[in-house]
């Protein structure tokens, strides 16, 4: 289990492993722009959904998730944090693959109420000690619970700001190309936005996103 300080470029790179034989990948990104995507329950539900919809769906996975659904469908209730943790542990235990990669990015954007169940999950996965499980957690370093998280991880890597800024440039280039607001700007204006924001980002995607929000209403760069 490793703890990184970066962003979802990690997900975009590693999720391609799902195409490899006898490997599975599940991933989640806590998005500060969407309150729903900042919850612990949505994290676990999304991981379970991805594992159940994989091309390598196995009977054992289906049965574990179906049991959770049936129990709460009858009562018309939502599963508790404890129910979700238990089901995810069961799925991880029974899945028959050489390697299962779970990537959790943007942890610093998780809602405060999710910290305790998240640590409970990580502690229990560590005790479970499944040799096929590879867990990567990515976050900005300046979070109050960083020390506690590092104690649960086998390896900690801090990515330099220069490396993060390289990902910022990739993110901005993709935004200029695919965002309907920016793709109509001229090439010179797009390059100026990319260069200016990358130089000033200081490794912070949140700041870059805020600048893009401010720029979207502008007709031209000079505005």
Determine whether 210 is exposed, middle or buried from the number of CB atoms within 10 Å of its CB (0-12, 13-18, 19+).
exposed
Residue 209 CA: distances (Å) to CA of 28, 155, 163: 19, 29, 18
Q: What is the pLDDT of residue 193?
A: 92
Homologous superfamily in CATH for domain 2-157? P-loop containing nucleotide triphosphate hydrolases (3.40.50.300)
Alpha-carbon 188 to chain mean position:
33
* Three-class DSSP category at 59: helix
The domains of the chain are located at 2-157, 161-215
- For residue 29, report the phi and psi dihedrals to the nearest 5 degrees: -125, 120
Note the pTM of the prediction, 2 decimals: 0.70
DSSP 168-209: HHHHHHHHHHH-TTTTTS-HHHHHHHHHHHHHH-TT-HHHHH
Is 3 a residue whose pLDDT tops 70?
A: no
Specify the DSSP element, H or E, that contains 2.
strand 2-4
Task: Return the residue matching tokens 């901005």.
Answer: 172
Joined tokens for residue 131: 């040799």
Residue 114 CA: distances (Å) to CA of 15, 108, 139, 157, 160: 24, 11, 15, 23, 27
Q: 217 or 1: which carries more pLDDT confidence? A: 217
Per-residue confidence band for 219, with pLDDT thresholds at 50, 70 and 90:
low
Q: 13 or 28: which carries more pLDDT confidence? A: 28
For the stretch 143-177, pLDDT in tens is: 777 778 888 888 887 766 677 788 888 889 988 98
């Amino acid at each position: 289990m490793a703890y990184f300080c970066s962003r979802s470029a990690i997900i975009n790179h590693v999720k391609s492993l799902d195409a490899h034989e006898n490997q599975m990948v599940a991933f989640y990104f806590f998005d500060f722009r969407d309150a729903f995507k900042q919850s612990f329950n949505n994290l676990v539900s999304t991981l379970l959904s991805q594992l159940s919809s994989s091309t390598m769906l196995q009977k054992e996975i289906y049965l574990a998730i179906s049991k959770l659904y049936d129990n709460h469908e009858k009562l018309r209730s939502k599963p508790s944090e404890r129910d979700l943790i238990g089901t995810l542990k069961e799925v991880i235990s029974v899945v028959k693959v050489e390697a299962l990669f779970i990537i959790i990015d943007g942890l610093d954007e998780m809602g405060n109420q999710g910290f305790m169940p998240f640590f409970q999950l990580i502690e229990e996965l560590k005790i479970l000690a499944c040799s096929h499980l590879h867990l990567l957690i990515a976050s900005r370093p300046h979070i109050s619970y960083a020390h506690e998280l590092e104690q649960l991880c086998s390896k900690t890597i801090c990515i330099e700001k220069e490396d993060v800024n390289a990902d910022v440039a990739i993110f901005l280039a993709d935004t200029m190309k695919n965002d309907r607001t920016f793709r109509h700007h001229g090439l010179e204006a797009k390059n100026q936005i990319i260069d200016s924001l990358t130089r000033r980002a200081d490794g912070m995607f949140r700041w870059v996103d805020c600048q893009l929000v401010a720029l979207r209403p502008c007709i031209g760069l000079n505005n």
